[in-house]
């Protein structure tokens, strides 16, 4: 096991990033199966977390350029801060598989740049009152790689 904290963080981040990208692929496939097209208008809600308040504040400042954000203490473990963000009241369309993966990759990368972790997200079709969330997914990358 590596002793270098930066190496441990980098390896953890890469595992999380691979998992989030796989979740994006799965969610997009589910949405396609539910007749969501590139023209379907979607709202995006998401969550990041960190143990460091300054880190989460820095991430919020960057994301607030394009998203509404709120910061709170994590309800289940008050050692952590969480950032909840949304596109609401605005929505997006054109959520192709590649755009979904690119958005998730960006969220992972921007979180890491602030020492935070991109945790979960949900896409909602406001007209059809349907939603797809990563909270219902259990992606085991070790199993996927076998």
Query: What's the pLDDT tens digit per position in 11-52?
Result: 999 999 999 999 999 999 999 999 998 889 999 999 999 999
What band does 7 get if pLDDT is binned at 50, 70 and 90? confident
- List the one residue out of 14, 42, 49 whose CA is nearest residue 28: 42
Sheet holding 42-50, edge to edge: 68-73, 81-86, 42-50, 117-125, 130-133
Average of pLDDT values for 64-77? 94
Q: Residue 134 CA to chain centroid, in angstroms?
A: 8
- In sequence order, which residues have a C-beta less than 8 Å from that of residue 115 and are 6 or more positions away? 50, 52, 55
What band does 62 get if pLDDT is binned at 50, 70 and 90? very high
| H helix runs in the chain, sequence order | 5-33, 53-63, 97-113, 141-144
pTM of the model: 0.87
Dist CA 119 CA 54 (whole Å): 18
pLDDT above 60 for 144: no
Dist CA 83 CA 3 (whole Å): 30
Angular region, 142: left φ>0, alpha ψ -120 to 50, beta rest? alpha
Q: What pLDDT score does 127 carry?
A: 84
* Surface-to-core class of residue 81, CB atoms within 10 Å of its CB (0-12 exposed, 13-18 middle, 19+ buried): buried
Say whether domain 5-134 belongs to CATH 3.30.70.970: yes
Average pLDDT of the chain is 90
What band does 146 get if pLDDT is binned at 50, 70 and 90? very low
pLDDT above 50 for 6: yes
Q: What pLDDT score does 143 carry?
A: 44
Q: Which residue has the higher pLDDT, 79 or 137?
A: 79
């Amino acid at each position: 096991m590596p002793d270098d904290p930066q190496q441990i963080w980098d390896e953890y981040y890469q595992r999380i990033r691979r998992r989030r990208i796989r979740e994006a692929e799965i969610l997009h496939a589910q949405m396609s199966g539910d007749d969501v097209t590139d023209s379907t208008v979607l709202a995006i809600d998401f969550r990041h977390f960190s143990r460091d308040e300054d880190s989460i504040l820095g991430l919020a400042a960057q994301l607030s350029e394009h998203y509404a954000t709120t910061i709170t203490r994590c309800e289940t473990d008050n050692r952590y801060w969480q950032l909840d963000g949304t596109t609401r009241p605005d929505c997006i369309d054109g959520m192709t598989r590649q755009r979904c993966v690119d958005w998730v990759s960006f969220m992972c990368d921007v979180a890491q740049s602030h020492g935070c972790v991109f945790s979960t997200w949900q896409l909602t079709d406001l007209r059809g009152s349907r939603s797809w969330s990563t909270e219902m997914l259990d992606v085991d990358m070790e199993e996927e790689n076998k």
